[in-house]
Amino acid sequence: MGKIVAIGGGDAMAGQTREIDECIVRMAHKERPKFLFLPTASEDAEPYIVFINAYFCGMGCETSTLRLISEKPARKTVEEKISSADIIYVGGGDTSGGMMHVWHEYGVDSCLRQAYQHGTILCGTSAGAICWAVFGRSDSDSTMNQGWWDYGREGGLSLIPAAICPHYNQKGQEGFDRMMVGEKIPGIALEDGTALVEEDGVYHLLRAAGGGRGFLFKSAPGISEKTEIREGEYFRLS
């Protein structure tokens, strides 16, 4: 089985996720791991692609990018790129733009599930954290409702059997607390500079320098219990 690192957010250009990203590279246990970037949520934004590739190349990775929107690759190309990667990193962006639909169109969703089964490290930030969960709370599709922001609910690949809320430290994300009331699955809220790490069904929190906190939600009919996840604490979600 692979590993998953879901990052709650933070500006990589400003070094806000540096320690997390370095840990991801070390997890591959290779001198020069093959790193694949999926920038679908940013609609293949070229400046973002250039930065991420240079950033992880500087950490010793052999980098490449899977551009689904701008290049429209053949399914065979998609399969080959995903199956040959040691690390697959999903970038942040607009989850309401149909990232999961695009993935399904090119067979990316099934390829990622297979990659996880074969031991690949799956990771990403913001939208790239939501995609591994059952669903996530997204600010890309938000509306004002009686003084509260109602945020979108975006489905994911369900590799993490929980809901995920990135950017939990930012204004309006407290609505995730209301969203989790009565949910049948757990919830994970991640502040910027914080990541949820999964390996063999066991989870723990990883923080960058100056990173925030993570919270676990367990729900019952009409209520939701929130506890802070302590650094060094290992737990299961089932």
Which amino acid type is present at position 210?
G
How many structural domains are present in the chain? 1
Q: Is residue 233 part of a domain?
A: no
What's the pLDDT score for residue 231? Answer: 87
238 part of a folded domain: no
pLDDT for residue 96: 66
pTM, two decimals, is 0.94
Where residue 98 sits, what CATH number does that domain have?
A: 3.40.50.880
**The pLDDT of residue 173:** 78
CA distance 127 to 123: 11
Work out the number of other CB atoms within 10 angstroms of the CB of residue 137. 27
Across the chain, which has 238 residues, the per-10-residue mean pLDDT values are 96 97 98 98 97 98 98 98 98 84 97 98 97 84 47 87 95 85 93 97 97 92 88 92
Report which secondary-structure segment, H or E, holds 139: strand 133-145
Q: Please give the pLDDT value at position 164.
A: 96
Per-residue model confidence (pLDDT) at position 1: 87
Give the SS3 label for residue 215: strand
pLDDT of residue 219: 82
Domain membership flag for residue 235: no
Domain assignment of residue 236, yes or no: no
Residue 36 lies in a domain: yes
Dihedral over alpha carbons 19, 24, 159, 187 (to 10 degrees):
-10
Tell me, yes or no, whether 237 lies in a domain.
no
Task: Give the range of the structural domain holding residue 155, as residue numbers without chain letter.
Answer: 3-228
Task: Give the chain's end-to-end CA distance (angstroms, integer).
Answer: 17
pLDDT at residue 137, as a whole number: 85
State residue 238's pLDDT score. Answer: 75
pLDDT value of position 114: 98
Give the H/E segment covering residue 26. helix 18-27
Helices (H), strands (E): how many in the chain?
8, 13
Residue 134 resides in a domain: yes
